[in-house]
Amino acid sequence: MSSHNEGKVIAFINARIIDGTGAPPIENGVLLIKDNIIADLGTRGSVEIPKEAKVIDVKGNTVMPGLIDAHMHLTGMRTGDFIKEPLITPIGVFFARAIVDLKALINAGFTTIGDAGSIIALHLKYAVLEGTIVGPRIIAAGLPLSQTFGHGDAHYLPVEWVDYRTTKKLTPLMGLICDGVDECRKATRYALREGADYIKIMASGGVLSEKDRPEYRQFTLDEIKAIVDEARAARRFVHAHAQGSEGIKNAIIGGVKVIAHGIFIDEEGIELAKEKDVILIPTFSITERILEVGEKAGLPEWGLRKCEEIYKIHIENVRRAYKAGVKIATGTDFIGGVFRHGENALEIKMFIRKLGMSPMEAIVSATKIAAEAVGLGDKIGTLTKGKLADIIVVKGNPLNDIDLLLKAENILLVMKEGRILKSNL
Ligand SMILES: [Zn+2]
C-alpha cells in the first residue's frame, strides 16, 4: 500500500453521493477519506469531520466510485488495421502511445481497467504501480490462450509468428496457442509466469478473426476445465471471450467467472450464468464504434460484415439475459486510436439505450459489478467503509443526464487509493 497519504484525512462535503450499491443517492453528503481508505460517509451532521481534515467542497456536484472498464485492451494501436499496424510499427511505439491512453483514462474518471489481453498492459502495470507513470489500476490478463485456428490465432499470419513463445516480432496482441489438455495446462502456467492477474481464453470464434465465426466452439470442455483448474490452483479466475451458444455454455460449465460478448447466449446459457453467478460483459461499445468508423479506420471487410450480421441479435440476446437477472458489467473492448480510450463511459450509455437499464443500474454495472468482474469486489467498486478510496467527482447529476459521464471535462476530480490524480475543483 502507498505511504504517501499516511495520516492524511480528506473530507468531501456538500456532495451528492452515489455509492455504487444502487442505494438512493445521499444528498448534502459527507465522505471521509483516511490515508487511502474510505473512513465514513453519510448526510451532513451524521459524519464527524476531524479538525485536521483537508475539506474539499464539491459544491453540490456528485461523488461516486471511480469508473471501471472490465474488458478492454491497452494496445497503443491507432488504426483499425490490426493486420498491418502491429507488423510495421516497433513495439516501443505502442508502449509510448499506451502511456498517453492511460492518462486519458484517468482524466475520464477510470480508476481501474481490466485488460483482457495485451503485453503492453501486462508490463505497464508495473510502471503504474511504482508511480513512474500515471494511470488507472491495471488488472491484466497478459497473454490470452487460444487454440490453433482460434480467435487469438491470427489466421492471416504464419503460425510461428502468433505465439509469444516462438515469435520473432513482438506485437501488442500476442497470445499463447495451445491444443489439448496438457498444452492448455502449460500455457496457463506460462501466462501466470509472465504475470497474469487472471486468465483470458478464447472459447469461441469471433468477429475480428478472419477464418472463423462467432458461432464456432473453440477449446473443448476438457481443455477449459484444465485451464480453470490451473487458474484456481494459483487463486486466479478465468475470463472467456465467448460469442456462440456452445462456447458460452462450455465456458460456464467449465468454471469461468466472466463471459465477454455473449452474442448468441441462449436460454440454457442464461440459466447456467445465473446458477453459477457468472458476469456477462457484452462490450456493445466496440460494435457501435466499428459500425461508425471501422471502414474509414481500415478494418478488414470480413470483420465489418460479421459485425453488421451480429449487431441486432447481440442486443436482443443480452437484453434477454439482463431481464432474466444475469449480472452485467461494463467493458468496451476498446484498443485505443479510433476506438479511443477516454471514451469508455460510452458503455454506460449503451446499457441504458440498448438494455433499458436505469441510469443508477448502469452506474452499478460500471462500478460494483465491474469491480467483481476484475476480481476486486471486496476492495473497490462501492463507497463503503474500509474500501480503497477510488473516487470521482462529476459535474451535476449523472442520474438525470448520463452524458455528463462521457466527457472528461465533467470529471472534476479523480482520486485513486486516496491520491488525487486530477482536480479542477
Ligand atoms: Zn476483447
118 CA to centre of ligand 1 in angstroms: 10
- CB under 8 Å to 32, separation ≥6 — which residues? 9, 10, 11, 12, 38, 39, 40, 41, 47, 49, 50, 53
CA distance 136 to 329: 18
CA quadruple 248, 251, 255, 256: dihedral, nearest 10: -80
Task: Say whether both 336 and 408 belong to one domain.
Answer: no
Structural domain count of the chain: 2
Distance from the alpha carbon of residue 72 to the mean position of ligand 1, in angstroms: 6
Cα 200 to ligand 1 centroid, rounded to whole Å: 9
Strand, coil or helix: 41: strand
- Do both 312 and 322 map to the same domain? yes
User: Can you give the pLDDT at residue 160?
Assistant: 82
**173 and 161 co-located in one domain:** yes
Domain boundary among 351, 373, 395: 373
54 is catalytic: no
Do 15 and 78 reside in the same domain of the chain?
no
Catalytic residue among 69, 153, 333, 390: 333
Q: Sort strands 145-146 and 176-177 into parallel, antiparallel or unpaired.
A: parallel
Query: 186 or 213: whose pLDDT is higher?
Result: 186
Average pLDDT, the chain: 95
> Beta 419-423 vs 411-416: how paired, if at all?
antiparallel
Q: Helices marked H in 53-196 — which ranges?
A: 85-88, 91-107, 119-129, 181-193
CATH code for position 28: 2.30.40.10
Least confident residue range of 1-15, 118-132, 165-179, 399-413? 1-15
Which residues constitute the domain of residue 136?
A: 67-373
φ/ψ of residue 412, rounded to 5: -80, -30
Q: The cell 469486489 sits on which residue?
A: 377
The answer to pTM > 0.95 is yes
Query: Which of 373, 397, 414 is the endpoint of a domain?
Result: 373
Q: How far, in Å, CA of 220 to CA of 254, rounded?
A: 9
User: Could you tell me if 32 and 49 are in contact, meaning their C-beta atoms sit under 8 angstroms apart?
Assistant: yes
SS3 content of the chain, % helix, strand, coil (to 5): 35, 20, 45
Catalytic residue status for 186: no
Give the integer Cα–Cα distance in Å for 8 and 301.
55
The one-letter code for the residue type at 39 is A
- Yes or no: say if 69 and 332 are a contact pair by the CB < 8 Å rule: yes
Summarize pLDDT for 370-402 with one digit per residue, the tens: 999 999 999 999 999 999 999 999 999 999 999
My answer on whether 233 and 281 are in the same domain is yes
State the pLDDT at residue 1.
44
Question: Ligand 1 centre and the CA of 360: distance in Å?
Answer: 25
**Separation between Cα atoms, residue 131 and residue 11, nearest integer Å:** 24
Identify the CATH number of the domain in which residue 129 sits: 3.20.20.140
150/160 Cα distance (integer angstroms): 14
Q: How many CA atoms lie within 13 A of 232 on its CB side?
A: 10
Shared domain for 133 and 211, answered yes or no, is yes
Q: Give pLDDT tens digits for 229-239.
A: 999 999 999 99
